[in-house]
Amino acid sequence: MSPEGDRPEDGEIVQTAARAAEEVIFARYSRSAVRDFDVTVSFEDERLEVDVYLDAEDGQRDPEQVADDAVLAARNAVDELLA
């Protein structure tokens, strides 16, 4: 938290979003099923940008949907952090 205690530091916001996105990915896929992934998060001027790339074995889950869900989870985690 910042010294004033009014809101978290930008780095904490970015880490919270990235961690939430990764949790969704690995809750849905085993690590061995994920060939590659990238979670990019930026927080500048009070604007959160989250991009998730996921290359995973197709199976019962659609990798694009999981990536979209990971972005949503990241945004929700930051919303909760800032609430």
User: pLDDT (tens digit, 0 to 9) for every residue of the chain, 83 residues total?
Assistant: 444 567 899 999 999 999 999 999 999 999 999 999 999 999 999 899 999 999 998 777 899 999 999 999 999 999 999 99
User: Across-strand partners of 50?
Assistant: 41
First to last CA, the chain: 13
Beta carbons of 74 and 17 less than 8 angstroms apart:
yes
pTM of the model as a whole:
0.88
User: Is domain 10-82 annotated with CATH 3.90.650.10?
Assistant: no
Task: Count Cβ atoms below 10 Å from residue 1 Cβ, excluding itself.
Answer: 9
pLDDT on residue 59: 74
Q: What is the pLDDT of residues 29-47, one digit of tens each?
A: 999 999 999 999 999 998 9
